[in-house]
Chain A
């Protein structure tokens, strides 16, 4: 029974990883093909760093965008989560939560289109030459990153003791000091997980960027424009490196969460 279980799990995993395995294998191909393997070489990795200016430029753009947007959504989202957790009126709270969930539930195409329509409309009114540009794609990425941050912090705020802030203030803290000393440490894991989620979503986003980018080229968009012709394996080389990066990020995320769970377990035992 247990053997059958592992066979099934392995089979599904194999299907999930098939295209990624193919990608990694062919990034080491010595020929230009992405379907016939000729021999092992580092040629495409060398090629990538020597001549892959477009790809690396797009990668740089993607990273700048991901770092900026996820940082801003983390700050904005953390403040928002604290604000939401303090709301008294239940209908205001549930309205705000429904709006927060919109970017998660709405199809990405619709989110992208809706933002583009607004940006183009405003651009026309202000007579701008480029109504979609770096700032619009940044706004779009911040917006879809926010729910991940907020929804990861809210449950932690619910778990933190309400009297913690009061206690800190009784002991002479100002409200702001009380926040930094008493509340922030207990929600930090949530903030980190939210930040990493927002970062990875931004890194990989194709659909929403596609409608809000203007001339700002990110890696997924550049690769999309390349797939109209047969692609060269240097794209595979770059994506294999990205895979490694994501793997490290995910392991990090996992460590943060399991450390946090251990702490929680310890607290419960006391």
Chain B
């Protein structure tokens, strides 16, 4: 008995220590900096400052709005895509999975830069438009292109969980629904859709979280004119002449809370006991 107990300790101690020191303690530092002044005394002013400052609030609501748009658009594209994907033959499905995952393993910075080249004033798309006699379009600098950038980057995070839940739907259910007189759309609406809700919910969180906290994409696509929360955090720590750790930590804390709340809301809708789902990259 004693031996198994000490064995347990040996197995668990390294990871428990590691995650306490490098996951939990850093988060406590965020809380600490958010509630202290530059010389270390306790204060609520950072939080009050954030919520009463018009500039911060504009950025805050903008990030929420863009993230919601990006999530909705990703869902509208990813759902039919995943459905189509689940209908092709098994070996093509595996290949498509791989192809969906591959771009998101590529360097974010390079992909974003490459899109900039495609969309810029004298870029590939505008050259194409002019060659067929159309007016060039100013893509960069618009809200739309930033949302597009987010959809592009995080679409795979929506496709993978939805695809995996659709492909798990029992084939005999589809046959049964067919036998009972449902057409394809009836089957989608009454069988596939309800059964794929867990995938949809996890897709929504997996897209919303990185979107609301995104930085770099917005800066790059708007020449620094349209900022998101992530950009402001980066500014506070790295780009301002006088870095302000306290307000930076405050904004990070707010961001973390938004995400906790949205996770709680999503979890409320899904009674998932499916812990074997594992992770998708």
Q: Are A220 and B109 in contact (CB under 8 A)?
A: yes
Please give me the residue from chain A that is nearest to B12 by CB atom.
A83
Question: Binary interface profile of B, 81-118, with partner A (CB < 8 Å = 1, else 0)?
Answer: 10011011000001010111111011111111111011
Q: Are A113 and B30 in contact (CB under 8 A)?
A: yes
- Given the known A-B contacts A76-B14, A82-B11, A200-B281, are A9 and B81 also in contact in the complex, defined by CB atoms under 8 Å? yes
Query: Among A235, A250, A258, which residue has the most Cβ atoms of chain B within 10 A?
Result: A250
The stretch of A38-46, A150-158, A180-188, A262-270 in contact with B is A150-158
Question: What is the bound-complex CA distance between A106 and B156, given in angstroms?
Answer: 18
Please give me the residue from chain A that is nearest to B31 by CB atom.
A114
Please give me the residue from chain B that is nearest to A238 by CB atom.
B110
Question: What is the bound-complex CA distance between A243 and B25, given in angstroms?
Answer: 36
Please give me the residue from chain B that is nearest to A211 by CB atom.
B237
- Given the known A-B contacts A8-B81, A116-B237, are A16 and B100 also in contact in the complex, defined by CB atoms under 8 Å? yes
A242 contacts the other chain (Cβ, under 8 Å)? yes
Question: What is the bound-complex CA distance between A242 and B245, given in angstroms?
Answer: 36
Q: Are A99 and B109 in contact (CB under 8 A)?
A: no
Total interface residues on A, CB under 8 Å, equals 85
Chain B positions within 8 Å of A6 at CB level: 88
Considering the complex, which residues of chain B in the window 1-58 have a beta carbon less than 8 Å from any beta carbon of chain A? 7-8, 11-12, 14-16, 18-20, 22-27, 29-30, 33
Q: Are A204 and B15 in contact (CB under 8 A)?
A: no
Please give me the residue from chain B that is nearest to A150 by CB atom.
B15
Q: Are A107 and B255 in contact (CB under 8 A)?
A: yes
Partner of B18, one of A12, A76, A258: A76
A256 contacts the other chain (Cβ, under 8 Å)? no
The stretch of B170-178, B189-197, B210-218 in contact with A is B210-218
Q: Are A20 and B103 in contact (CB under 8 A)?
A: yes
Query: Among A110, A147, A175, A246, which residue has the most Cβ atoms of chain B within 10 A?
Result: A110
Partner of A239, one of B26, B106, B117: B106
Question: What is the bound-complex CA distance between A122 and B21, given in angstroms?
Answer: 12
Residue pairs across A and B with Cβ atoms less than 8 A apart, 18 shown, are: A9-B81, A9-B85, A12-B77, A18-B115, A18-B118, A19-B103, A19-B115, A20-B103, A106-B256, A107-B230, A110-B256, A113-B233, A113-B252, A115-B26, A117-B26, A142-B22, A148-B281, A155-B276
Known contacts A246-B105, A258-B94, then 14 further A-B pairs from the complex at CB < 8 Å, ordered by chain A residue = A9-B88, A12-B155, A16-B156, A19-B118, A80-B15, A84-B12, A86-B8, A96-B19, A105-B263, A107-B213, A107-B255, A109-B215, A147-B279, A239-B110
